[in-house]
Structure 1
Amino acid sequence: MAPFVTYISVALRKTLSQINYTPAFAGCISHSNPENRPLNKQVTMNTTVIHLRSESKPLERRSPISPASAKALLEAGYAVHVEKSPGRIYKDEEFETVGAKMVPEGSWPTVPEDHIIAGLKELPDDGSSLPHSHIQFGHCYKQQDGWAEYLARFARGGGILYDIEFLKGEDGVRVAAFGYWAGYAGAAVALLAWSHQVQRPGVPLGAVPLYSSAAAMVDDVKAKVSDALRTVGDFPQIIVIGSLGRCGRGAIDLCLAAGIPPSTLLKWDMAETAKGGPFKEITDSDIFINCVYLGSKVIPPFTTLESLSKPGRRLRVLCDVSLDPNNPNNPVPVYSSYSSFKEPTLKVPVQGDGPDLTVVSIDHLPSLVAREASDEFSGLLLPSLLTLNRRKTEGVWTGAEKLYHQKVQEIPSSAQFSLRNAIIEFCISYGGIKGGARPVWPQVRSSPEWGSSPTPSQVLLL
């Protein structure tokens, strides 16, 4: 009888290594699969394949890859697969014209595991393991709500998260960001909210349109502000904190484009906030636009429910472009929920004699001006995408992968893949391993539906 041979999938090997667990039988992994061959999907051996997925988040129209960037990648020898998407700002035909391969919407989970999945916002919250490498905003490295569970999905599947927020060049500067357009769109919604509130106090602002262009948005905001001025007479006093960053510059540019006089714009940055809040200048303004980047350093809150409830408050609209409401370092801890394009404002539960106070807390503001935002962002990201075939040695990607593994180590035990209760499927073959012949490659499965050949077994790790 031929030798008794045991096989365990690469996905399991990756998972075990990422959470520092080495079972007694782990040695058989390298013995039976010395080339670390992917076990459950075909691979594309020579060409790097970039798979642009359709966004599942409602009303998310942006794309990290434009048709122009897709063309550049194709000309550089990459394969570009683009999921069909009725909601993307770029039409499918624009990608077809440059030669991209169009594939079904939502097909990314079934493609070969060496395909690199590119997207923007979070993946569907279905708890599935993620075996691919993903380029996206993970929103899970600063302990946001659900961060551990989301990150654990990559660890379980053996995938990698290349978090766009942390793709940095040798100078430590982010290679691509939507900050400018987030500030630009955020200021627009803030002005729409203020204009509506002064004319119809107590009535929530209705859905904001998804504009065809930034110019169309500016025209709409100017018209709404003009209507409001006939009611109140004076332009709003606006304070922008984080005014020297990309986000802050975008907010200020929108205000100026919409006709707000520079004299009514209060521009603050680190020098002005160094003394620590809460700041009376916020309550004395009509609109507060928060554009600071939240790092690991704890800073005193810029404003609080207590400071906002004091007599004489003028503030009507708080637009939090930074938008980390559940981050322990959040400097505007006066709300905990997200708003949306359909319901753009939420009421802040303040006391006192001031006007109603609403917060704009939309987490994909640049989608209001999706084409301009995507054109700029994809252009910034393209030089890094062109090095994906060298991602194991290229600094932008090696740094992002290193950070990913560091963050995996921070996952609390409650969210980790439970090895004690994990059912591990592996195959035991009794014959056919002669003359260097390869066995059938097994895969880790989540269901008890076993194949018929070779004979599988289940092992409960204790």
Structure 2
Amino acid sequence: MLTIGLIREGKVPADNRVALTPAQCRWLHKNSPEIKIIVQHSASRCFSDNDYTRAGIEVKEDLRECDILLGIKEVPVDMLIPNKTYLFFSHTKKMQPHNQKMFAAILQKEITLIDYECLEHEDGQRIIGFGFFAGIVGAHNGMMAYGNRMQLYQLQRVYENKDYRQLIHTYFGLKIPAIKIAVTGSGRVAHGVVEVMNLMGITEVEPDEYLERKFAYPVYVQLKGADLYTHNQTKTYKREDFHLHPGNYRSRFLPYSHCTDILINGVYWSDDVPRLFELSDINETFTIQTIADISDDERGSVPINIGDQSMKDPVYGIDRITKHKTAPYLSNSIDVMAVSNLPNELPRDASRYFGEQLIKYILEDLIKGGSSIIERATIVKNGTITKPYEYLTEYGKSSS
């Protein structure tokens, strides 16, 4: 019998998503008698303790009997149980400073850490995540911010709606002006963004049309790998080579910054990936008014992302001259929407979607004791950093 625990989220600000919904837990108990699921008490989860109890799932505080513990966001040090296997988004693979203390504690407590972000198919395609709903909420918030800035239309906040279905109804009759929107990326985030564009009645156009034409109606362009990056020497783009050697490429985005009103960014970024633009590119020809940085890397692909905002207050301004933070919607600023837990605005839909992927692609491997997919996503095994992640060794030595 494999015992799986759903932990209470401890990160501040609180996240109310969960890896498995009550209905999914009930289905697993019925169809997989070799596993038992226990849920830790939580007052903030989008599904209540009673929801799980009614589904026949035990709810308790102590999870030490569990073999595997499933969370969503980073786990506070004082909540980590020694010698357990955890699955959550650790945000440590890029050596993020704010999670260094947690990573050191994982090593000290001889924990096994399997990171959802590192669960990938053989070709490097991510298997599970909340990207689709991050794209939904991020696109909505970006469009909302532009509407607030220009005072041309108004959108409700996503979290004011019961669920995604109700949110869609708020788009009926919405009139978007003749603006241009650049959508970057090709993964789940971009799929969510494109869904919102289509629901809002915004027309997709090809990159050359977007750059050369004016339109009497709102349009968007989706910019993928070859549209965004080119090799410094060969002037070509090869996906595999780009992922192996991104430092050999430069950004092709700048022409789009001269004719775009809203940028909705969903590209993956790391230190050696070219930024979409640089601070010095923000001049009188830079027409972008609003940026929804769904990827949300501080000073990353969007260099004027200077840090997270909260779900309740998602937008800030950046002065075009000083590049300092301002209030949003000022005439001399660019508005930036940057929130790290966007799917939390649609927690039930996002949790259901995530749990479906977890059951379909990962849970069977966990029950069987592992797989190559699980192995590649294991950053730490019993307190020892695994070979693919040995570059994190120095990162894990400090607990300050």
| Pair in the same fold by TM > 0.5 | yes
Question: Which amino acid in 2 is paired with 1:253?
Answer: E
In structure 2, do the counterparts of structure 1 residues 417 and 186 end up closer, same or farther at CA, with 3 Å as the change threshold? closer
In structure 2, do the counterparts of structure 1 residues 194 and 161 end up closer, same or farther at CA, with 3 Å as the change threshold? same
Aligned to 2:180: 237
1:62 aligns with 2:17: yes
Q: Where does the alignment leave 5 or more consecutive residues of structure 2 unmatched?
A: 206-218, 231-249, 323-329
In structure 2, do the counterparts of structure 1 residues 151 and 88 end up closer, same or farther at CA, with 3 Å as the change threshold? same
Q: 2:364 aligns with which of 363, 383, 386?
A: 386
Residue 299 of structure 1 and its aligned partner are, at CA, apart by 2.8
Q: 2:229 aligns with which of 243, 254, 274?
A: 274
The normalised TM-score by structure 2 is: 0.78
- Partners of 2:379 and 2:145 in 1: how far apart? 42
1:253 aligns with 2:195: yes
1:179-209 deviation line (CA, Å, top 9, x unaligned): 1111111100101111111129xxxx99763
1:284 aligns with 2:284: no
1:10-58 deviation line (CA, Å, top 9, x unaligned): xxxxxxxxxxxxxxxxxxxxxxxxxxxxxxxxxxxxx211110122343
CA contact (8 A) 2:101 2:399 kept: no
Q: 1:198 aligns with which of 150, 157, 169?
A: 150
Give the secondary structure class of the aligned counterpart of 1:389: helix
CA contact (8 A) 2:75 2:102 kept: no
Aligned to 2:311: 341
Aligned to 2:241: none
CA contact (8 A) 2:319 2:332 kept: no
Aligned to 1:35: none
Q: 2:296 aligns with which of 323, 345, 350?
A: 323
- Partners of 1:340 and 1:206 in 2: how far apart? 16
- Partners of 1:74 and 1:411 in 2: how far apart? 39
Aligned to 1:160: 112
Q: 2:343 aligns with which of 353, 363, 366?
A: 366
1:83 aligns with 2:40: yes
1:141 aligns with 2:93: yes
- Partners of 2:135 and 2:82 in 1: how far apart? 32
Residue 337 of structure 1 and its aligned partner are, at CA, apart by 0.9
Q: How many residues align?
A: 350
Residue 260 of structure 1 and its aligned partner are, at CA, apart by 2.4
Residue 375 of structure 1 and its aligned partner are, at CA, apart by 1.3
- Partners of 2:198 and 2:17 in 1: how far apart? 25
- Partners of 2:319 and 2:80 in 1: how far apart? 37
Residue 210 of structure 1 and its aligned partner are, at CA, apart by 4.6
- Partners of 1:408 and 1:156 in 2: how far apart? 16
1:273-301 deviation line (CA, Å, top 9, x unaligned): 124335131242111011112357x2322
Higher strand share: 2
Give the secondary structure class of the aligned counterpart of 1:386: helix
CA contact (8 A) 1:206 1:342 kept: no
Q: 2:220 aligns with which of 241, 265, 268?
A: 265
Give the secondary structure class of the aligned counterpart of 2:386: helix
- Partners of 1:56 and 1:413 in 2: how far apart? 23
Question: Which amino acid in 2 is paired with 1:415?
Answer: K
Question: Which amino acid in 2 is paired with 1:293?
Answer: Y
Question: Which amino acid in 2 is paired with 1:377?
Answer: F
Aligned to 1:102: 59
1:214 aligns with 2:164: yes
- Partners of 1:355 and 1:409 in 2: how far apart? 43
1:313-368 deviation line (CA, Å, top 9, x unaligned): 32121111112216xxx222222210111111122232299752111111111122
In structure 2, do the counterparts of structure 1 residues 396 and 300 end up closer, same or farther at CA, with 3 Å as the change threshold? closer
1:294 aligns with 2:246: no
Question: Which amino acid in 2 is paired with 1:90?
Answer: F
| Identical-residue share of aligned pairs (%) | 23
Give the secondary structure class of the aligned counterpart of 1:351: coil
Give the secondary structure class of the aligned counterpart of 2:37: strand
Cα RMSD of the aligned pairs, angstroms, is 3.0
In structure 2, do the counterparts of structure 1 residues 335 and 206 end up closer, same or farther at CA, with 3 Å as the change threshold? farther
In structure 2, do the counterparts of structure 1 residues 206 and 126 end up closer, same or farther at CA, with 3 Å as the change threshold? farther
1:202-226 deviation line (CA, Å, top 9, x unaligned): xxx9976353111322334567x54
In structure 2, do the counterparts of structure 1 residues 222 and 131 end up closer, same or farther at CA, with 3 Å as the change threshold? farther
Residue 84 of structure 1 and its aligned partner are, at CA, apart by 2.8
CA contact (8 A) 2:171 2:199 kept: no
Question: Which amino acid in 1 is paired with 2:269?
Answer: L
The normalised TM-score by structure 1 is: 0.68
1:396 aligns with 2:373: yes
- Partners of 1:97 and 1:388 in 2: how far apart? 26
Give the secondary structure class of the aligned counterpart of 1:294: coil
In structure 2, do the counterparts of structure 1 residues 188 and 59 end up closer, same or farther at CA, with 3 Å as the change threshold? farther
Question: Which amino acid in 2 is paired with 1:412?
Answer: E
Aligned to 1:14: none
